[in-house]
Structure 1
Amino acid sequence: MEYRKLGHTDLTVSALCLGTMTWGEQNSEAEAFEQIAMAREHGVNFIDTAEMYPVPPRPETYAATERIIGNWFRQHGDRDAWTLASKVAGPGNGISHIRDGQLKLNRQHIVAALDASLQRLQTTHIDLYQLHWPERSTNFFGKLGYQHQSNDLFTPLEETLEVLDEQVRAGKIRHIGLSNETPWGTMKFLQLAESRGWPRAVSIQNPYNLLNRSFEVGLAEVAIREQCGLLAYSPLAFGMLSGKYEQGARPEGARLTLFSRFARYSNPQTVNACSRYVQLAREHGLDPVHMALAFVTQQPFVTSNIIGATTTDQLRSNLDSSEIRLSDELLAAIEAIHQDQPNPAP
Structure 2
Amino acid sequence: MLSFPGCFLSCNHCHVIPEQELKAHILPLTNVAFDKPGSRFLTGSYDRTCRVWDTASGTELHTLEGHRNVVYAVAFNNPYGDKIATGSFDKTCKLWCAETGKCFHTFRGHMAEIVCLAFNPQSTLVATGSMDSTAKLWDVESGEEVATLTGHTAEVLSLCFNTVGSQLLTGSFDHTVAIWDVESARRVHTLTGHRGEISNVQFNWDCSLIVTGSMDKTCRLWEAISGKCVAILVGHKEEVLDVCFDLSGRFIATASADGTARVFSAATFECLVTFEGHDGEISKVCFSPQGSRVLTASSDKTARLWDVQSGVCLQILEGHIDEIFSCVFNYEGDTIITGSKDNTCRIWY
TM, length-normalised to structure 2? 0.31
- Flag the structure with higher strand content: 2
- Flag the structure with higher helix content: 1
TM, length-normalised to structure 1? 0.31
